[in-house]
Amino acid sequence: MSLKRGFIESIVRGAGCLGTSAAKQPENPSAIFVLRNNDIGDLLIITPLFEALKRLFPRAQIIAGIGSWNQDVLRNNPWVDRVLQINAPWHNKQICKYPHNSPRGFVKSLNYILTSDEGRQLKSLHCDIGIDILGSPEGSLLMIRAGIPWRLGVNGYAGGYSACQQNIMFDENIQVGRAALRFAECLGAANLPESRPQLFLAESEKEQAVKAWNGLGRQNAAPLKRILIAPGGGFVEKCWPREDYQKLVAELARRSNTRIAIVGGQSDYELGEFVKGASAQVTNLCGKTSLRETFALVWAADGIICNGSMILHTAAAFDKPTVVVLGKAFDSAQKHKRLWGYGAKDLHLGIEPGRTRMFTAEEAVPIINSHFGLC
């Protein structure tokens, strides 16, 4: 542990000693707070934890502390009783401007913890148990400031564990969603749900998605394969090259029974136009669909192609055949699959020991054809 990290941990440890703490785990908690103020995919992958907690403590109010950008992820979720906005400036790409381990970033986080209205609202809820999914000094300090007496964190990752009564050990060999379920196990759960993201769409959302797909591209009497492609991502190095996406789309669009939609945020529109090329069978929807509409389009698709992004987790929620094409930042596709994958329906293509380069479009096409049944 570095001197800086050790110093911050000592602050957290001292705050834990001064803050409210319980001598033993509450047997019948009235409210459980789950902190996940991270990115969309980060929230999606741990959604089974809410079900596990509600099964274990059916009378407890399950409160999800998430960023405002994640509100729609938990809409209609029957296992979450309350969503509390925690727009905390650490460990996310939406509002975090400074590295969490930098002096300026830590000071900004402390200011949020001590003075924000969101922090005061959390304190007013009088939660008995708090879980910081990521495990961080900031998360532990937020729970202490909120007066949560029984705190759970992660030992061996970002810190904050010394102020928690229970911790799970960080293990990079355990799938992230399954690791989150270990918090429920710590609290006594034995009957765990499948480690697969949970999204709950209304029937009207599904109907609209089917109509949207039917309205894309040229009409054809033959059965159509609906392929959804998400070429965007937070970091360029983690994404498959746009040139390969363009070549791949051009090849897939040659099939008369294939309809292709490209999705992403408003900032991905130009990328979507580049990937689309000149094909009439490809529609660029980047920036044109809401998050819920994107979820529904995935639900109605027959195959998904994406980077290691939130679309991977959305596809897993609906058990869709998925091909994940990884950028040069990943040194092992097998490791990526182990941490972020779900089963036989998602393939992860990328660099491996013994393979020093990314997959090309020419290499990916036959794999995708086979996986989606396009042969």
More confident residue, 218 or 249: 249
Label residue 352 by pLDDT band (50, 70, 90): very high
* Residue in this structure with the two tokens 């200011």, named with its chain if needed: 111
Query: First-to-last CA distance in the chain?
Result: 53
pLDDT score at 222? 55
Q: Which of 186, 213, 237 is the last residue of a domain?
A: 186
Label residue 131 by pLDDT band (50, 70, 90): very high
What's the burial of 92, exposed, middle or buried (CB within 10 Å: 0-12/13-18/19+)?
Answer: buried
Q: Are residues 165 and 19 in the same domain?
A: yes
Q: Are residues 337 and 266 in the same domain?
A: yes
More confident residue, 233 or 208: 208
Q: Which of 186, 216, 249 is the last residue of a domain?
A: 186
- The arithmetic mean of pLDDT across residues 210-235, rounded, is 82
Q: Are residues 360 and 288 in the same domain?
A: yes
* Residue in this structure with the two tokens 């710590």, named with its chain if needed: 186
Q: How far apart are CA 180 and CA 26, in angstroms?
A: 20
Task: Specify if 200 maps to a domain.
Answer: no
pLDDT score at 354? 87
Q: Are residues 43 and 154 in the same domain?
A: yes
Above 90 in pLDDT, residue 323? yes
- The arithmetic mean of pLDDT across residues 225-253, rounded, is 95
List, as own/partner pairs, every contact residues 343-349 make where C-beta atoms lie below 8 angstroms and the sequence separation is at least 24, other chains included.
Answer: 345/316, 345/319, 345/320, 345/321, 346/312, 346/315, 346/316, 346/321, 346/322, 347/322, 347/323, 347/371, 348/308, 348/324, 349/323, 349/324, 349/325
Task: Specify if 191 maps to a domain.
Answer: no
pLDDT score at 219? 56
Q: Are residues 292 and 368 in the same domain?
A: yes
List, as own/partner pairs, every contact residues 353-360 make where C-beta atoms lie below 8 angstroms and the sequence separation is at least 24, other chains included.
Answer: 358/240, 358/241, 358/244, 358/325, 358/326, 358/327, 358/328, 359/240, 359/244, 359/325, 360/244
In the chain, helix, strand, coil percent, each to 5?
Answer: 40, 15, 40
Above 90 in pLDDT, residue 265? yes
Above 90 in pLDDT, residue 272? yes
Label residue 81 by pLDDT band (50, 70, 90): very high
* Parent domain of 333: 205-372
- Report how many helices (DSSP H) and strands (DSSP E) the chain contains, helices first: 14, 12
Could you tell me if 365 and 251 are in contact, meaning their C-beta atoms sit under 8 angstroms apart?
yes
Distances (CA, A) of 203 to 79, 101, 150, 299: 19, 44, 39, 11
Number of structural domains, the chain?
A: 2
Label residue 217 by pLDDT band (50, 70, 90): low
Q: Are residues 82 and 214 in the same domain?
A: no
Task: Specify if 196 maps to a domain.
Answer: no
Residue 181 pairs with which residues in a beta bridge?
Answer: none
Task: Specify if 7 maps to a domain.
Answer: yes
- The arithmetic mean of pLDDT across residues 242-255, rounded, is 95
Provide the 3-class DSSP secondary structure of residue 306: strand
Q: How far apart are CA 293 and CA 212, in angstroms?
A: 10
User: To 5 degrees, how large is the angle CA 135–CA 140–CA 146?
Assistant: 140
Task: Specify if 67 maps to a domain.
Answer: yes
Could you tell me if 161 and 139 are in contact, meaning their C-beta atoms sit under 8 angstroms apart?
no
DSSP-H helix ranges across 19-153: 40-46, 48-56, 103-115, 117-124, 137-145
Q: Are residues 209 and 164 in the same domain?
A: no
Above 90 in pLDDT, residue 311? yes
Strand stretches in the chain, DSSP E = 31-36, 61-66, 82-85, 129-132, 150-155, 166-169, 225-230, 258-262, 282-284, 303-306, 322-325, 346-349
- The arithmetic mean of pLDDT across residues 241-246, rounded, is 97
Label residue 93 by pLDDT band (50, 70, 90): confident
**CATH number of the domain that 303 lies in?**
3.40.50.2000
Residue 43 pairs with which residues in a beta bridge?
Answer: none
Task: Specify if 199 maps to a domain.
Answer: no
Task: Specify if 193 maps to a domain.
Answer: no
Q: How far apart are CA 156 and CA 268, in angstroms?
A: 35
Q: Are residues 156 and 48 in the same domain?
A: yes
Q: Are residues 318 and 354 in the same domain?
A: yes
Above 90 in pLDDT, residue 97? no
Q: Which of 155, 186, 217 is the last residue of a domain?
A: 186
Residue 261 pairs with which residues in a beta bridge?
Answer: 228, 283
Label residue 14 by pLDDT band (50, 70, 90): very high
pLDDT score at 255? 86
- The arithmetic mean of pLDDT across residues 308-329, rounded, is 97
- The arithmetic mean of pLDDT across residues 218-241, rounded, is 83
Q: Are residues 164 and 209 in the same domain?
A: no
Q: Are residues 237 and 362 in the same domain?
A: yes
Q: Are residues 211 and 116 in the same domain?
A: no
Task: Specify if 94 maps to a domain.
Answer: yes
Percent of the residues in the chain that have a pLDDT greater than 90, as a whole number: 85
Average pLDDT of the chain, as a whole number: 94
List, as own/partner pairs, every contact residues 103-107 make where C-beta atoms lie below 8 angstroms and the sequence separation is at least 24, other chains included.
Answer: 106/8, 106/137, 106/138
Q: How far apart are CA 334 and CA 330, in angstroms?
A: 10
The model's pLDDT over 149-194, given as tens digits with 9 standing for 90+, comes to: 999 999 999 999 999 999 999 999 999 999 999 999 999 999 999 9
